[in-house]
């Protein structure tokens, strides 16, 4: 099983949403999505885990690696709606990662009212077949 992702840019931040299970077999796909975010946006990246069914220790470590990668580029990773177990394995090598209870709370931290967004998503992102996509990978 792998993950699907959707990436949306706003004026002051970006949202990378995941769906599925972030396990060992999905880490490469997640890393690719993080690379996509690095190449196409600026500012903090909110990792929206609302549709994530769970994550393994390897998946959690991949999130910590993403936080380091973003920090190296002067950007911050924030989490929204972490899976029900509520854990993130701290390995002591990643920058602090703010955690929001849900995506709405994460978005409320920003005053982006521009309405200007761009979106990309993986081919099987939930609902993608029912709407005209703005961009595909």
Model pLDDT for residues 22-45, shown as the tens digit of each residue: 999 999 999 999 998 999 888 999
> Please, how many CA atoms are within 13 Å of residue 115, restricted to the half-sphere of its CB?
0
Instruction: Give the other-Cβ count within 10 Å of 27's Cβ.
Output: 19
CATH of domain 3-112: 3.30.750.24
Model pLDDT for residues 108-119, shown as the tens digit of each residue: 988 765 566 777
**pLDDT attached to residue 101:** 92
Q: Identify the CA nearest to 59 among candidates 32, 21, 5.
A: 21
- pTM for the model stands at 0.83
Domain ranges in the chain?
3-112
DSSP characters over 24-77? GGGHHHHHHHHHHHHHH--S-EEEEEEEEEEE-HHHHHHHHHHHHHHHHTT--E
Query: How many residues make up the chain in this entry?
Result: 137
């Amino acid at each position: 099983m792998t993950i699907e992702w959707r990436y949306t840019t706003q004026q002051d931040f970006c949202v990378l949403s995941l769906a599925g299970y972030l396990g060992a077999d999905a880490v490469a796909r997640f890393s690719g999505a993080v690379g996509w975010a690095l190449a196409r946006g600026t500012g903090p990246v909110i990792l929206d885990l609302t549709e994530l069914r769970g994550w393994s220790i390897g998946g959690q470590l991949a999130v910590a690696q993403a936080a380091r990668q973003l920090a190296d580029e002067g950007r911050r990773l924030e989490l929204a709606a972490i899976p029900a177990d509520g854990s993130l394995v701290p390995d002591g090598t990643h920058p602090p990662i703010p955690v929001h209870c849900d995506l709405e709370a994460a978005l409320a931290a920003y005053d982006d009212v521009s309405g200007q967004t761009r979106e990309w998503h993986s081919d099987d992102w939930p609902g993608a077949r029912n709407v005209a996509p703005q961009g595909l990978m």
